[in-house]
Amino acid sequence: MKLLLAFSRRGQHDPGREPVIARVVKETGVLVNVEKANIDSMAGEMLIDVPDADAALVRQRLEEMGVTVRVMENAIARDEAECVDCGACISVCPQEVFSFDEEWRIRVSSERCVLCGKCIQACPHGALSQQG
């Protein structure tokens, strides 16, 4: 399961200043895969992947440390009225989120998405968007 973490770095003791991921891994023993991290001077955002069974525990510990946690279920949304099933999204995606089904319709495996945004720009029909 993918979790999107947001944390502040304003104050010296804000979670963004602490080794929160390392702490969670050490305490819980859950292997966390960091898929994307965007950290600047004031705040940070991080996308992590954790085994479904451990997600609740990881989430609870992170929240206790002051991190805002959101479960990414449908990271990428496809507007069926706009999509013409061309397939322009398929090969630009580094995660192989998109594929054709037997009827040559686009199939979206949203759980693989790491929010890189490449498909959104590549879609000629403006049919893809990131779930806010």
Q: Which residues bind other proteins (CB under 8 A)?
A: 84-92, 99-100, 103-105, 118, 121-122, 124-126
CB of 53 to other proteins, least distance (A): 32
CB of 92 to other proteins, least distance (A): 5
Residue reference for tokens 């099933």:
85
CA distances from 45 to 7, 17, 28, 84, 109 (A): 7, 13, 21, 33, 22
Token output for 87: 């397939």
Whichever of 69 and 92 has its CB closer to other proteins, that residue is: 92
66 — alpha (psi -120 to 50), left (phi > 0) or beta?
left
CB of 124 to other proteins, least distance (A): 4
